[in-house]
Amino acid sequence: MKVLVTGGAGYIGSHMVLCLLEAGHDVVVLDNLANSSAESLRRVEELTGKHPEFIELDLLDALGVDNLFASGAFDSVIHFAGFKAVGESVAQPLKYYHNNIVGTLNLLASMDKHGVRSLVFSSSATVYGASEEVPLIEKMPLDATNPYGRTKEQIEDILSDLGASDPTWRVALLRYFNPVGAHESGRIGEDPSGIPNNLLPFVAQVAVGRREKVMVFGNDYPTPDGTGVRDYIHVMDLAAGHLAALGYLGSHAGVFTWNLGTGNGSSVLEVIQAFGDAAGKPIPFEFAPRRPGDAAVSYADPSAALADLGWSAHRSLAQMCADHWRWQESNPNGYAAS
Ligand code: NAD
Ligand code: UFG
């Protein structure tokens, strides 16, 4: 297949591009490099010996996107491009609604016009909001609690409406839990700009000496050790889930929703311990107040993806930390030095 990957230079996208190339697909990456470096794609080429075509383009450039589809002859699109920082979305909601929603509408309009009606979309477990019921199941009511999460919920609605209007659309809504880790080579990985918002990249930067200690947000949650519990999933398992979804869409029209998680929860303290074991050094940490908006516990029921796609995540927390650490240790400043 010829697959367009929007946001393909980013963290998850670059691992996806690698998996697509290894599976024998032709890949075109569209990215405006707003939160990434083209160095990731150079390294994917080095790892696979295959060339992903790269188009530096903003999804907000509707004419540019349409010109790409006019000549692209794509079979399918995997759509990662968007902004993802929860706190920034609260401070700058218009930036998030504009980029994520308008960018997606531009993409969908061109796909529809040029008859490319197969799409895999990056949704997020954030659409479940602060649900107190776990595990999280696809049919539960959605209740995103911040503008970023609402862009995901709204795009899910847009895609469901599109599928209802025209049964030839084939759409997978993939709700990711907490993607972490890196390709086992340590050549590509997550490279956040500024202070990391998420736990694993923060812990990794402490381990490599870029930051002094981890602030653990809350130790009074109703969990076994009092810290927040999440369903961490290895980014390579996540990419494999996309390949499975793409395969499913080849023989099924309609709009489908799947959780992509392991089904297991790990606490903040368990993650800090596992990362310390992987790095061979203790990770200094300190308890701090809860972070507003955080759920106590979030983990997936991943049984629908197993039943429909034959997919499940199999990499352990220890492997996630080992691979994340290999990437961080060999690239202490991410792609910046390259
Ligand atoms: P990322 O920031 O590394 O990748 C997103 C990419 O999209 C970046 O390369 C960025 O430059 C590009 N981009 C943003 N706006 C664009 C635009 N208007 N035009 C073209 N390119 C644009 O993020 P990621 O962690 O790889 O996440 C990928 C997707 O998965 C996002 O949609 C994100 O919301 C979703 N997701 C991520 C997580 C997570 O924890 N990483 C969890 C759930 C869902
Ligand atoms: N945490 C800390 N210290 C930190 C960072 C995080 O203690 O410095 C804690 C949080 O309180 C939480 C856990 O670590 O208990 C995980 O936090 P993350 O920020 O890594 O992940 P979240 O589950 O809060 O959110 C992430 C993404 C969202 C996405 C959501 C569900 O940030 O964009 O997963 O996919 F929507």
d(CA 303, ligand 1 centre) in Å: 26
pLDDT digits (tens, 9 = 90+) for 249-284: 999 999 999 999 999 999 999 999 999 999 999 999
Pocket test for ligand 1, best of 35, 197, 199, 230 (most atoms within 8 A of CB): 35
Q: Exposed, middle or buried by CB within 10 Å (0-12, 13-18, 19+), for 205?
A: buried
Place of tokens 């030095």: 337
Residues whose beta carbon lies within 6 Å of some atom of ligand 2: 84, 86, 124-126, 176-178, 197-199, 202, 214-217, 228, 230, 268, 291, 294
User: How much is the pLDDT for 123?
Assistant: 98
Query: Active site residue: 11, 96, 148, 221, which one?
Result: 148
pLDDT of residue 105: 99
C-alpha 153 to ligand 2 mean position (Å): 18
Question: What DSSP character marks residue 13?
Answer: H
Q: How far is the CA of 218 from the centre of ligand 2 (A)?
A: 12
Closest ligand to the CA of 107: 1
Counting from 1 in the atom list of ligand 2, the atom nearest the Cα of 202 is: 8
| Alpha-helical segments (H) within the chain | 11-22, 39-48, 62-72, 86-91, 93-96, 103-113, 147-165, 199-207, 235-249, 268-279, 303-309, 317-330
Q: Which domains does the chain have, with CATH numbers?
A: 2-180+232-261 (3.40.50.720)
Could you report the per-residue pLDDT of 70-105, keeping only the tens digit for each? Answer: 999 999 999 999 999 999 999 999 999 999 999 999
The alpha carbon torsion through 257, 262, 264, 270 (nearest 10 deg) reads -130
Q: Quick one: pLDDT band at residue 293, thresholds 50, 70, 90?
A: confident
Ligand 2 atom with least separation from CA of 203 = 8
Give 239 Cα–ligand 2 centroid separation in angstroms: 20
Ligand at shortest distance from the CA of 152: 1
How many angstroms separate the Cα of 90 from the Cα of each of 157, 230, 338?
21, 22, 33
Question: Dmax of the chain from CA atoms?
Answer: 56
DSSP 289: P
High-pLDDT (> 70) share of the chain, %: 100
Torsion of CA 67, 68, 71, 75, to 10 degrees: -140
Could you confirm whether 176 is annotated as catalytic? Answer: no
Say how far apart CA 237 and CA 216 lie, in whole Å: 27
Name which residue sits closest to atom 20 of ligand 2, judged by CA.
198
